[in-house]
């Protein structure tokens, strides 16, 4: 390609990049994109150079070429900064973070992750903050600190739940799953209870991510999520569920040329074969991918590869092979620990520093939150409204699901409220609603959720309250309303409630709400002023 090529020629060659990518020839597509980038840069065709650069690093990601990701990213970054495409720049920085982690270049990874967090904090951008906190959490997990990694990832999930973008939630959930799996590997054989709890959390996070896949048709997302879910199910002992999921993810990964994911999923299938007492088949499978994986120099993948080879060789009684794999694994772990210490020393990244970044990010979020509070509060009663419930409750439900904690959701409706408005006027009706809100709040704990979600409809969510006790609480609320001195407000005024309640398990907000709502309709049909419990969620 000549530097004199005009925009039309360069544009046609950029279209050829897209054609090669659609045809599945990712390596050829990347070579073509790099050629377009060089020629466009020399010709001063900045817009085409930028698009070609974006195509390069997207293809690096799919090929699992982390060296290429850092090289192409370094060339693309100044062009994105000059273009003002802030979100594309944030996306690039975060992917460079993950590539640097894969190559154990933790100094670079931490510098880029902190830069991304600072930018998100300055811009008070929840989308960027969620993804950047997840990238920072990935740094700590890859450096061996799964505890700090999971904490940062959980914080990222809390932010992501407020962002109306499935990609953000899926990315954070998938990364949180990977962190929990990493914790499993570190604790396996050291604290098996901790390891099992971590992998059970990984299953929950991966299933939540999998539920979002229909909204994101990119095949890479499906391979990532299904591969992680299969790996988590495998180590949770659910082999019959893990096997078909891993085989299908591996087939799709090979079809699309996703090399890095192919290697990782292959390791998971080898672990499955080891559990099935097929160590010889597992070792043959690992030997088939070892040369390419070693040549790619992906640190985390190599740790996993040598660890699995060790387990297969040990089960075969091949002591020499097992010892060689164990030595290679230990060498990589020592290298990771050394690079971690060096990176933290050079960049002064300590837990206190991480906490400072976290606190600054929280302060920025709270500053932005003040401008959104009015839209998330019910103007009449001061309670949370439906929007606030939909933004805040999923985060707490995810946390409750991870630990299988008790949750009860009740939908409450005032009986014959239209008659009150018609007989006494809307002004009195409003006073009744305000009084109802106060009486309900006074009968609940500070940690319980109370929201007004419709004209005369309220929602109560009780956490960490066994179902029998939750029913007692709700019955007390019903009697509290019925027995209140309503006639002091107007002669003949009486107010009662109908309540439908649903208990977890079944931690997703929409199905939980629907079950409670159906129970409420039965309470209305049965004569009102009563509580009805929903049927248990179907498995």
Taking only the tens place, the pLDDT of each residue in 180-215 is 988 888 888 888 888 899 999 999 999 999 999 999
Alpha helices by DSSP H, 161-191: 166-187
Same-domain check for residues 69 and 134: no
Residue 256 predicted with pLDDT over 50: yes
Q: Which pLDDT belongs to residue 371?
A: 53
Instruction: Report yes or no on 201 lying in a domain.
Output: yes
Same-domain check for residues 170 and 222: yes
Paired tokens of 306: 């040598």
Find the mean pLDDT for residues 129-153: 84
Residue 66 predicted with pLDDT over 90: no
Paired tokens of 453: 């979600």
Residue 221 predicted with pLDDT over 90: no
Same-domain check for residues 213 and 342: yes
The CATH number assigned to the domain holding 167 equals 1.25.40.10
Q: Length of the chain in residues, anyone?
A: 539
Model confidence, pTM: 0.54
Same-domain check for residues 254 and 145: yes
pLDDT top residue among 441 and 392: 441
Q: Which pLDDT belongs to residue 368?
A: 54
Q: Out of 351, 372, 394, pick the residue that ends a domain.
A: 351
The CATH number assigned to the domain holding 419 equals 3.30.70.270
Instruction: Report yes or no on 341 lying in a domain.
Output: yes
Residue 1 domain boundaries? 1-84
Euclidean distance between CA atoms 484 and 496, whole angstroms: 10
Same-domain check for residues 128 and 271: yes
Q: Which pLDDT belongs to residue 43?
A: 83
Q: Which pLDDT belongs to residue 513?
A: 94
Residue 104 predicted with pLDDT over 80: no
**306 falls in which pLDDT band (50, 70, 90)?**
confident
Same-domain check for residues 250 and 180: yes
Residue pair 405/414 in contact (Cβ under 8 Å)? The answer is no
| Catalytic residue flag (residue 456) | yes
**339 falls in which pLDDT band (50, 70, 90)?**
low
Same-domain check for residues 331 and 314: yes
Paired tokens of 122: 């300055």
Same-domain check for residues 182 and 270: yes
Residue 350 predicted with pLDDT over 50: no
Structural domain count, the chain: 3
The CA–CA distances, whole Å, from 40 to 35, 46, 138 equal: 8, 7, 35
Instruction: Report yes or no on 373 lying in a domain.
Output: no
Q: Which pLDDT belongs to residue 418?
A: 93
Catalytic residue among 456, 457, 472, 508: 456
Same-domain check for residues 309 and 414: no
**349 falls in which pLDDT band (50, 70, 90)?**
very low
Same-domain check for residues 91 and 239: yes
Q: Out of 330, 351, 372, pick the residue that ends a domain.
A: 351
Quote the mean pLDDT of the chain.
85
Sign of the Cα torsion 471, 475, 478, 481 reads: negative
Residue pair 236/203 in contact (Cβ under 8 Å)? The answer is yes
Residue 363 predicted with pLDDT over 70: no
Same-domain check for residues 80 and 95: no
Same-domain check for residues 205 and 124: yes
């Amino acid at each position: 390609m000549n530097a004199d090529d005009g925009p039309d020629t360069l544009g046609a060659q950029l279209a050829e990049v897209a054609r090669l990518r659609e045809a599945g020839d990712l390596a050829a597509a990347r070579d073509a994109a790099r050629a377009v980038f060089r020629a466009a840069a020399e010709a001063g065709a900045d817009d085409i150079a930028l698009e070609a650069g974006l195509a390069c690093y997207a293809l690096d990601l799919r090929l699992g070429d982390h060296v290429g990701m850092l090289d192409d990213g370094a060339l693309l970054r100044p062009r994105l900064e000059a273009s003002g495409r802030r979100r594309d720049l944030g996306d690039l920085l975060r992917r460079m973070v993950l590539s640097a982690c894969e190559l154990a270049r933790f100094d670079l990874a931490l510098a880029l992750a902190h830069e991304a967090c600072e930018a998100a904090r300055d811009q008070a951008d929840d989308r960027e903050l969620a993804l950047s906190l997840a990238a920072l959490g990935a740094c700590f997990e890859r450096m061996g600190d799964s505890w700090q990694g999971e904490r940062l990832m959980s914080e990222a999930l809390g932010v992501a739940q407020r962002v109306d973008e499935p990609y953000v939630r899926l990315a954070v959930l998938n990364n949180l799953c990977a962190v929990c799996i990493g914790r499993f590997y570190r604790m396996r054989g050291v604290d098996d209870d901790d390891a099992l709890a971590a992998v059970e959390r990984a299953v929950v996070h991966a299933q939540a991510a999998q539920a979002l896949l229909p909204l994101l048709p990119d095949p890479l997302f499906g391979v990532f999520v299904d591969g992680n879910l299969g790996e988590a199910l495998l180590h949770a002992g659910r082999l019959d569920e893990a096997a078909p999921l891993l085989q299908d993810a591996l087939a799709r990964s090979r079809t699309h040329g996703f090399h890095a994911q192919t290697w990782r999923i292959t390791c998971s299938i080898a672990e499955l074969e080891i559990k099935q007492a097929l160590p010889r088949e597992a070792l043959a499978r690992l030997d088939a991918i070892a040369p390419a994986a070693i040549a790619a120099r992906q640190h985390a993948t190599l740790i996993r590869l040598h660890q699995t080879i060790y387990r297969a060789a040990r089960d075969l009684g091949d002591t020499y092979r097992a010892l060689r794999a164990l030595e290679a694994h230990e060498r990589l772990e020592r290298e990771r620990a050394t690079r971690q210490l060096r990176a933290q020393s050079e960049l002064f990244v300590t837990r206190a520093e991480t906490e400072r970044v976290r606190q600054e990010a929280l302060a920025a979020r709270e500053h932005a939150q003040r401008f959104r509070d009015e839209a998330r509060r019910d103007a009449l009663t001061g309670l949370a409204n439906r929007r606030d419930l939909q933004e805040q409750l999923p985060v707490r439900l995810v946390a409750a699901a991870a630990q299988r904690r008790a949750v009860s959701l009740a939908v409450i409706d005032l009986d014959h409220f239209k008659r009150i408005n018609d007989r006494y006027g809307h002004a009195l009706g409003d006073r009744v609603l305000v009084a109802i809100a106060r009486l309900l709040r006074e009968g609940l704990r500070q940690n319980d959720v109370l929201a007004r979600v419709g004209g005369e409809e309220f929602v109560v969510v009780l956490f960490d309250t066994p179902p029998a006790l939750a029913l007692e609480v709700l019955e007390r609320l019903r009697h509290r309303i019925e027995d209140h001195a309503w006639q002091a407000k107007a002669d003949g005024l009486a107010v009662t409630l109908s309540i439908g309640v649903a208990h977890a398990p079944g931690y997703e907000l929409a199905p939980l709400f629907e079950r409670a709502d159906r129970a409420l309709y039965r309470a209305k049909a049965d004569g009102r002023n009563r509580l009805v419990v929903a049927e248990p969620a179907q498995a």
